[in-house]
């Protein structure tokens, strides 16, 4: 049976619900399909993503006439390991999991190595691995000084080696998105006054740091959330939102905005930012919790 036929048959079995999981006395925690951490649609996607060079076939250790199919597709920057065999009329899954480090295999290339490529400008060409800065397609950021295959004819980056994925992943996760909200004008005054109370030498640049620090402290439970949503119903909150507040946030920081929004049952990310600013006002401007000042002053000193 050829690889295409293996993929077709495995997908058909999954779609028809004709599958089991091999058990050797216990449920193998490496089989995320068996433990319900991935579903059959995700397994189908993994099978479809597998190319011929990421496929192996070996005899089963208990029956040499039974072929065990091993697929190692890439998905979302990770290499997966999918292992199964057919026992008519079903497909039997042995393992479905992400590759752990000791199993992860990747060919390491060096700066100056060459390889054949298909360049978008030159067609078939030879490329040399060189250090380059490579942008993300949506311009959210750039991966600096990464090893890349560069076309020898036109000097364009045409491919990236698998060994560069961790660096790309790290940069992508740190890339920033815009968080823009409209707030009443006096909210900016609150941030100005609070910043001056922390350190008179600080300027507006500290506003973002202050908001994100409070956001993290509230999300993680380091600062108490009691009464946070109620602040949005206070007299101080009842005003026209005439000013725009914009900041760049990482994926992790955006996740904290969404987390606090869910924890407080708020409707919009703008409500989260407003509630955080009102909390800053309560603690620092209205001086109801000046115990936060020493830590904030240390933070200011560290980044100034």
Are 28 and 97 in contact, with CB atoms under 8 Å apart? no
Classify residue 145 as left (phi > 0), alpha (psi -120 to 50) or beta: left
116, 123, 179: which is closest to 149 by C-alpha?
Answer: 116
* CATH architecture of residue range(s) 3-103: 2-Layer Sandwich (3.30)
Would you state the pLDDT for residue 103? 46
pLDDT band at 291 (very low <50, low <70, confident <90, very high): very high
Summarised one tens digit per residue, pLDDT across range 107-147 is 788 999 999 888 889 988 899 999 999 887 766 678 889 89
What would the pLDDT profile of 150-208 be if each residue is shown by its tens digit?
Answer: 999 999 998 888 788 778 777 776 666 778 899 999 999 999 999 999 999 999 989 99
Residue 276 has pLDDT above 70, yes or no: yes
pTM assigned to the model: 0.49
Helix (H) or strand (E) holding 146: strand 142-151
**pLDDT value, residue 27:** 61
Which sequence spans correspond to the domains of the chain?
3-103, 114-174, 177-303
The whole-angstrom distance between residue 34's C-alpha and the CA centroid of its chain comes to 25
Helices 185-198 and 206-220, interaxial angle, to 10°? 90
pLDDT of residue 164: 84
Name the pLDDT band for 102 (thresholds 50, 70, 90): very low
Q: Which residue would you say has higher pLDDT here, 38 or 304?
A: 38
Could you say which architecture CATH assigns to the domain 114-174? Roll (3.10)
| Mean pLDDT, all residues of the chain | 88
């Amino acid at each position: 049976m050829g690889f295409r036929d293996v993929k077709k048959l495995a997908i058909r079995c999954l779609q028809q619900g004709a599958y089991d999981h091999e058990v050797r006395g216990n449920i193998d925690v490496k089989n995320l399909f068996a433990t319900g951490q991935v579903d059959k649609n995700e397994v189908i996607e993994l099978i479809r993503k597998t190319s011929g060079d990421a496929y192996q076939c070996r005899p089963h250790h208990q029956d040499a006439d039974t072929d065990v199919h091993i697929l190692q597709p890439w998905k979302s920057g990770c290499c997966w390991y999918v292992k199964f065999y057919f026992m008519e009329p079903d497909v039997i899954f042995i393992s479905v999991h992400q590759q752990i480090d000791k199993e992860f295999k990747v060919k390491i290339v060096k700066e100056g190595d060459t390889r054949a490529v298909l360049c978008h400008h030159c067609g078939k060409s030879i490329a040399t691995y060189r250090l380059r800065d490579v942008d993300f397609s949506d311009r959210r950021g750039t991966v600096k000084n990464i090893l890349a295959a560069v076309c020898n004819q036109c000097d364009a980056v045409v491919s990236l080696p698998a060994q560069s994925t961790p660096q790309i992943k790290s940069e992508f996760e740190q890339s920033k998105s815009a968080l823009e909200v409209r707030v009443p004008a006096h909210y900016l005054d609150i941030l100005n006054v609070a910043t001056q109370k922390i350190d008179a030498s600080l300027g507006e640049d500290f506003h973002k740091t202050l908001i994100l620090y409070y956001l993290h402290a509230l999300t993680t439970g380091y600062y108490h959330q009691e009464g946070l949503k109620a602040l949005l119903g206070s007299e101080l909150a009842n005003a026209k939102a005439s000013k725009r507040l914009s900041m760049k946030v990482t994926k992790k920081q955006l996740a904290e905005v969404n987390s606090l929004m869910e924890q407080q049952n708020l409707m919009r990310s703008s409500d989260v930012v407003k509630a955080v600013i009102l909390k800053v006002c309560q603690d620092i401007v209205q001086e109801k919790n000046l115990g936060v000042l020493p830590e904030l002053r240390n933070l200011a000193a560290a980044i100034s």
